[in-house]
């Protein structure tokens, strides 16, 4: 109760530094518009500084995961080499089973490659249970070994008559992912001296037809290099630490800018699992555009069919905007994984077996003389 000698303001004096009531003349002060704009500008500036670092960290994480997937493939390859006397899975080895089924058209076995150039099925068969239906096996392979930096959807291509299980591909609800990894095709094909070599027979009603021979696949003699004496055995590739067994790569064709996955059992050239590598200018995965230049500054004479647009999906690691400064992960035959810049990946020794002879040096990304022999 107030007494006559106390005013209401005296009752509001601080006690133990605690204010008990309002002090005459006090009020709250709001931010001005200029102050708010300054704060927003500072926040925007911080975001612009931090965002590239966050994107680089995210990209590095994807690159590391991609490398880990390659190490899995390397483990599968080493097991395959050990149990298969050093043969490399692919066209003239595991792919024969796909070719010989052509008459029976029975591809619904989990250990049969989805087409001739498919080297992934033999590796995955060591590590997990694969679907028996070929269409589902196709989906599984690309999802099981999917680099996190590749797109989420692809388009199937048809070069010949429709495969027998086309309806199954159409019935699949999920779109087919593009392939993430490619094997250099020259490590699967055999040398010119193997032309005509019988490696199997087509099957009729489940039995080999002795009159329907399957001969080894060799590269034509008018390609950029000629390999006279080579079999797809790991001991024949050359120095394992200098030969790429698998690299990042996504095949890309110019028709409506689509990613190429050929689903035929007897697919077109190299299907969706192989490519000619980074030295040749015209590859659909690692090839370059007509306005690019070679490493030594020469003009391009044989550009990629997609005019270099394919590079953004294949050279997919690194924070640089210029694809020439980006990199690919590469698994070598000695089982180590290495990141190669666009420039580094153009060396010829990585992509061809020892003894390959260069016949069209002007089509390469690095300059070598005519008849240069790959070490």
Tell me the DSSP string of 264-309.
-TT-STTTTTEE--SSBTT-TTT---TT-B-TTSPBPSS--TTTTT
Residue 241 has what pLDDT?
97
Give the global pTM.
0.84
Rg of the chain over CA atoms, in angstroms? Answer: 31
Question: Of 203, 198, 213, 216, which Cα lies nearest the Cα of 106?
Answer: 203
Residue 248 has what pLDDT?
97
Residue 73 has what pLDDT?
96
Tell me the helix, strand and coil percentages in the chain, rounded to 5: 30, 15, 50
Residue 53 has what pLDDT?
62
Low-confidence stretches of the chain (pLDDT beneath 70): 1-30, 50-56, 155-164, 170, 172-173, 254-258
- Cβ atoms of residues 180 and 250 within 8 Å: yes
Opening angle at CA 90, ends 153 and 327, nearest 5: 50
- Cβ atoms of residues 234 and 196 within 8 Å: no
């Amino acid at each position: 109760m107030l007494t006559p000698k106390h005013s209401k303001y005296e009752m509001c004096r601080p006690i133990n530094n605690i204010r008990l009531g309002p002090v005459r003349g006090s009020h709250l002060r709001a931010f001005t518009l200029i102050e708010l704009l300054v704060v927003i500008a500072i926040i925007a500036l911080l975001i612009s500084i931090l965002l590239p670092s966050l994107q680089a960290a995210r990209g590095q994480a994807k690159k590391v995961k991609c490398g880990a997937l390659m190490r899995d493939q390397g483990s599968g390859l080493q097991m395959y080499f050990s149990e298969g006397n050093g043969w490399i899975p692919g066209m003239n080895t595991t792919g024969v089973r796909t070719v010989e089924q052509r008459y029976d058209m029975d591809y619904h076995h989990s250990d049969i490659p989805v087409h001739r150039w498919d080297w992934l099925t033999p590796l995955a068969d060591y590590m997990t249970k694969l679907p028996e239906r070929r269409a589902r096996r196709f989906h599984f392979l690309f999802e099981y070994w999917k680099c996190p930096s590749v797109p989420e959807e692809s388009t199937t291509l048809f070069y010949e008559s429709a495969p027998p299980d086309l309806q199954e591909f159409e019935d699949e609800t999920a779109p087919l992912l593009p392939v993430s990894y490619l094997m250099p095709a020259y490590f699967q094909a055999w040398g010119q001296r193997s032309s005509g070599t019988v490696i199997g027979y087509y099957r009729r009603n489940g039995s080999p037809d002795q009159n329907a021979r399957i001969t080894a696949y060799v590269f034509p003699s008018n390609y950029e290099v000629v390999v006279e004496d080579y079999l797809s055995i790991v001991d024949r590739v050359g120095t394992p630490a200098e030969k790429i067994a698998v690299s990042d790569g996504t095949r890309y064709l110019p028709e409506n800018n689509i990613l190429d996955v050929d689903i035929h059992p007897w697919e077109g050239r190299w299907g969706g699992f192989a490519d000619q590598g980074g030295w040749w200018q015209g590859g659909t995965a690692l090839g370059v555009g007509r306005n690019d230049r070679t490493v030594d500054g020469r003009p391009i004479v044989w550009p990629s069919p997609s005019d270099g647009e394919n590079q953004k999906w294949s050279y997919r690691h690194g924070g640089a905007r210029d694809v020439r400064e980006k990199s690919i992960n590469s698994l070598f035959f000695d089982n180590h994984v290495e990141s190669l810049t666009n420039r580094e990946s153009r060396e010829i020794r990585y992509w061809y077996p020892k003894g390959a002879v260069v016949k069209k040096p002007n089509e390469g990304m690095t300059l070598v003389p005519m008849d240069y022999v790959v070490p």
